[in-house]
Structure 1
Amino acid sequence: EFGRRFIPIRQYMAKYGLADAGITPTEQDIADMANGTVPTSLRYDGVHWLAAGYTILANIIFQRLKELEWF
């Protein structure tokens, strides 16, 4: 429905977040990723991310805005 305007950030972070942040996954991170969850190493708690997670989010949004030529 939203096309390229929608960014599936949870799926992206679960799959690529640690690599983008340069973090070596722990056993818990590997389990999180297998379950499609944002890895523990990128989260402050069950809801909020650490600074690395928000930086990745900002970069993804920036790249999508450039792609859509919205700025």
Structure 2
Amino acid sequence: MEATVENIDKLDVAYDKQRDVLYISFGEPGEADESKLTENDIVVRYRHGKVVGLTVISFSKRLTPEHKTTQ
């Protein structure tokens, strides 16, 4: 399944370090009425058939060594 994001007025990004999950919302964050888990552990969230956000599971494992910090 392929989806596109249109008319992004606002981008909201939040990272939960304890759970290692990155949340990305397109527009105002809100409830999705549908979500689908992709084969690479990314949840695509939909509202009224449009993509409203992504949830990236195990985010830090996706970073290359030069992008990781030791904080």
Same fold (TM over 0.5): no
Q: Please, what TM-score do these two structures have when normalized by structure 1?
A: 0.25
More helix per residue: 1
Q: Which has the higher strand share?
A: 2
* TM-score, normalisation: structure 2: 0.25
